[in-house]
Amino acid sequence: MSAGESSGDHHGAAVAGEIRRKLPEARLFGIGGREMAAAGVSRIAGLDELSVMGGTEVLRRLPGFLRLERRIRRLFVTEDVRLFLPIDYPGLNLRLARSARRQGRRVLYYIAPQVWAWREGRASKLRRDCDRVLTVLPFEGALLERHGVPTDFVGHPLLDATRATDGGAGARPPTGSPAATGTPGTVEGRTCGGGRVIGLFPGSRAQEVRCMLPVFAEAARQLAGRHPDLDFIIARPPHLPESLYAGAGFPTAGAREATERSWAALTKSGTITLELALAGVPMVVGYRMGTVEWAIGRRLVRVSSIVLVNLVAEAPVVPEFLQDQLTAERAAQALEALLRDEAPARREMLRGFDIVRERLGKPGCAARVARHAIELLEGPDSESRSGAPC
């Protein structure tokens, strides 16, 4: 198993648990974080060895990446690997899938690379090197199938963690609740010290945090000056040091706790936007990267929005500010429109979240992935799929 980011570690851990439950004799090892290790995956590398953002950072750490790849390629042989299960993180995992395929190993790619957004040419690599590709977004399969990639939509893994008892998009405080009015009290953990909690989600990579957090924190300070009843919390993944957040002036918590406590959020793009939507937390999205990376990325990306919520809903549900558009003033103003329970922007966004939840499938994603893995493990050898390994 190979996961390169904290979200992949979380989803990989759920799959590992299901595999071990259904196939207790299976031996699991690979790249991951604390959650995969706790689920019984013997780690050969941790997330801190892979946490990079941008081309210049990748180039600086390229020798270490290449050494890690060589180690894993040797393990495919020395450990008699039967199945390689890459989880997202295509920069590394597509190359490892190629190595596994060449050595006759079966490959089950979970959380497909976002070829619908950019680098559509990767679809041909998926067709060549994967026995099966499992998608978690409802619109991915059609594009991959046009390229001849064997796919299956397994639903989104976030649904397993956010099963709602209210039948809607997460547990939302009702109008007039303490969380809505700002009076002392706690509803679903979304007030703290008498104020509504605003979550700041600057990312899971150190480089992202350095780019986004100063702007996010300044937006929070501007809001705090106009709304003294607000409290702020920063989501910090466990593999990043507390010192990285020291200059912001706000407390930190794990992403799950921050999500549960937030009445609204300012967040980077990515899977976290779906997590917030499923928890019923209205949000504003902002993203920045290096000037060179931005110049390259804007020419490659082929989608109208970088926000997964908007892509799944097929509508501009969440406001987004990219690169130079992301300023503290704009972010604070957009968040301000979401603070009141009866605010039209907030209510409309929550209705959009219900559409997103419906389109993301049913809970049970990890169990479905495990079933696919066991089918490939117990099925014919991978050579039967396309002849001798190439």
Every domain of the chain and the residues it spans = 2-155+364-386, 162-359
pLDDT at site 59 = 63
Query: What would the two tokens of residue 35 be?
Result: 């959650």
* Biggest distance spanned by C-alpha atoms of the chain: 69
Question: Which residues have a Cβ under 8 Å from the Cβ of 355 and sit 6 or more positions away?
Answer: 312, 313, 315, 317
The answer to whether 134 touches 108, Cβ cutoff 8 Å, is: yes
Which CATH class name applies to 162-359? Answer: alpha beta
CB atoms within 10 A of CB 142: 11
Fold of the CATH domain 2-155+364-386: Rossmann fold (3.40.50)
CB atoms within 10 A of CB 348: 12
User: 284 pairs with which residues across the strands?
Assistant: 266
CA-to-CA distance for 272 and 124, rounded, in angstroms?
A: 28
CB atoms within 10 A of CB 149: 24
- Tell me the HSE value of 11 on the side-chain side, using a 13 A CA sphere: 29
Instruction: Classify 212 as helix, strand or coil.
Output: helix
Which DSSP state fits 204?
S
CA-to-CA distance for 274 and 111, rounded, in angstroms?
A: 14
pLDDT at site 162 = 58
The residue among 22, 135, 104, 124 whose CA lies nearest residue 380 is 104
CA-to-CA distance for 161 and 181, rounded, in angstroms?
A: 28
Instruction: Classify 38 as helix, strand or coil.
Output: helix
List per-residue pLDDT tens for the chain, 390 residues long.
999 888 899 999 999 999 999 999 999 999 999 999 999 999 988 876 665 544 445 566 677 778 888 888 888 888 889 999 999 999 889 999 999 999 999 999 999 998 877 788 899 999 999 999 999 999 999 999 999 999 999 999 999 875 433 334 444 443 333 333 333 333 345 655 447 999 999 998 898 999 999 999 999 999 999 999 999 999 998 889 999 999 999 999 999 999 999 999 999 998 899 999 999 999 999 998 766 565 555 555 566 788 999 999 999 999 999 988 999 999 999 999 999 999 999 999 999 999 999 999 999 999 999 999 999 999 865 443 443 332
Task: Tell me which amino acid residue 127 is.
Answer: R
pLDDT at site 120 = 87
Q: What is the pTM of this model?
A: 0.78
Packing angle of the helix pair 206-226, 328-336 (nearest 10 deg): 60
